[in-house]
Structure 1
Amino acid sequence: MFKNILCCWILLKYYFYEQNTIKIFNPMAKYKKANNCKECPYKSYSLTKLHENDVDLIQGSCLIVNFKKGENICKQGTEVTHALYLAKGSVKLYIEGKNKNLILKLVNQSKYIGLQSLFGDRIYNYTIAALEDSQVCMINASLIMDLAKKNVDYLFELTKNISEATNFVYKKIIDINQKQLRGRLADVMLHFSENVFESDRFELKLTRKEIAEYSAMSMENTVRILNEYKKDGIIGIDGRIFTIKQPEILRKIGELG
């Protein structure tokens, strides 16, 4: 009886919190309350580590928000109020600079985005924008922290996500500092093929300018090297459709730097 009363009180607490923070969303974005997290085909594996009552708490706190292509999901320098789970679509995480941006990472559906900020200083150090129409589950940050404190298995799953994202950024920094332009772009093409799209043929939703921002290169050098790879038969390019024809050569270029 006491547990049921406590759960109801917590749900009410986070419900009213959501009503007060709804203004953080893009006013044009469409949203709704979650109603069946347990059966959702896009749910996070971390939910399997929670007790049923705790999943109910997440469901009661969760808002499902639809973002159109190009819309910001969160803005660099703003406060973290929610954990963000990308249920559908794809997004880019990027640092906004004075003269140019640096795209840190692309993320596809069924993944948390921005957890390192949630467990850090609670300020977004990057902007997250939708690369296509996307659906994001926004869960009250305080609730996620409370559940992580009392459930070590759940915390472990979240920590793995943070560790993978952090290690990826570390490698990216090393590549930017140590590799020449051709090696850098070769690694990027292989990463898109093997890790992001898991296919040797994929539709890249980035513009040429964004590919340059992802590779920390000028757009002129990016276009020039892509055309060289195409001319040499290493990759195929048809608009936004890329085909990795000779991955072993790209890998060798990347290794040589």
Structure 2
Amino acid sequence: MIKINDKRRLEKYILNHRINEIFDNDIKCFMELFYFKRNEYICKEGEDVPYLFFFVEGKVKIYITMSNGKSLLICFYDDFRIIGDMEMMSVKPATNNVQAIQDTYCIGISMETARKYLLNDVKFLRFMCGSLGDKLDKCSNNCSINLLYPLENRLASYILATGQKLNCNGKSVIKINENLKEISELLGTSYRHLIRTFNILIEKGGIIKNNGGYEVADEEILKKLSADLYK
């Protein structure tokens, strides 16, 4: 996490997402801008969350680690979201892992300041209730995908949601650079079954194996397979 001392960029995010409009009072003076590089954690399960974050650019995945050490995907964020709202209310450590899958920017307000000024801010609390309802809807959608779709469909959806878009010799390429064992855990399957499913997607022309990794060969094939996308 790197603090970015760029007032113009901070102001741009505040205006673009109309952040000041969700508070009864102007608390801009307490806002700070932070940068998280790809794969960095914004918060980790079991650790204190030092800031109430407003996610303003990038993409993150949210997942939970079970008592048996395995992980399960909950959802993704790629639009304006609050991170740390439950921790602000409950004064407890983070219950989920929030990890950047692209370079990400968040506006932060220290938890101490957030609890002091926002717990009695009716306008903000109403906004937060709507935000929590939307998060619940996302979780419900993704749980349904995990339960009702074969791995082939879920993997296609996951690749589209997390693939890293790169420019290779003027051509846009989507690469899958994550650890395959971690992907198998997040999707609730075995490593062997995941590899078999990658091979099925190769046979169907959706992806190719390249330099020891995978990249998307035909995005449309994956979109057709993914049906209901992870959100």
TM-score, normalised with respect to structure 1: 0.64
- Matched residue type, 1:206: E
* Aligned CA distance change for structure 1 residues 38 and 158 (closer, same or farther; 3 Å): farther
Greater share of strand: 2
Residue from 107, 132, 135 that aligns with 1:165: 135
Matched, 1:44 2:17: yes
Aligned residues of 2:32 and 2:109 also touching (Cα < 8 A): yes
Matches within 5 A, 1:1-257: 29-32=1-4, 35=7, 39-41=11-13, 43-50=16-23, 54-55=25-26, 57=27, 59-97=28-66, 98-108=68-78, 110-120=80-90, 122-141=92-111, 143-144=113-114, 146-147=117-118, 149-152=120-123, 154-189=124-159, 202-204=174-176, 206-233=178-205, 235-237=206-208, 239=213, 241-242=215-216, 243-246=218-221, 249-250=224-225
Counterpart Cα distance in 2 of 1:69 and 1:76? 18
* Aligned CA distance change for structure 1 residues 32 and 212 (closer, same or farther; 3 Å): same
Misfit runs of 4+, over 6 Å: none
CA deviations 1:166-193 (Å, max 9, x no partner) are 2222233333334433343355456669
Greater share of helix: 1
Q: Which residue of 2 aligns with 1:17?
A: none
* Aligned CA distance change for structure 1 residues 173 and 155 (closer, same or farther; 3 Å): same
- CA-atom RMSD in angstroms: 3.7
- What displacement does 1:228 show? 0.6
Q: RCO greater where, 1 or 2, for CA within 8 Å and sep 6 or more? A: 2
Helix, strand or coil at the partner of 2:61: strand
Counterpart Cα distance in 1 of 2:86 and 2:219? 32
CA deviations 1:145-167 (Å, max 9, x no partner) are 54363333x33333222222222
Counterpart Cα distance in 1 of 2:190 and 2:130? 33
- Matched residue type, 1:245: E
TM-score, normalised with respect to structure 2: 0.70
Counterpart Cα distance in 2 of 1:38 and 1:80? 21
- What displacement does 1:139 show? 0.9
What runs of 5+ residues in structure 1 fail to find an aligned partner? 1-28
Number of residue-to-residue matches in the alignment: 216
Aligned residues of 1:44 and 1:111 also touching (Cα < 8 A): no
Q: Which residue of 1 aligns with 2:170?
A: none
What runs of 5+ residues in structure 2 fail to find an aligned partner? 166-172
Helix, strand or coil at the partner of 1:69: coil
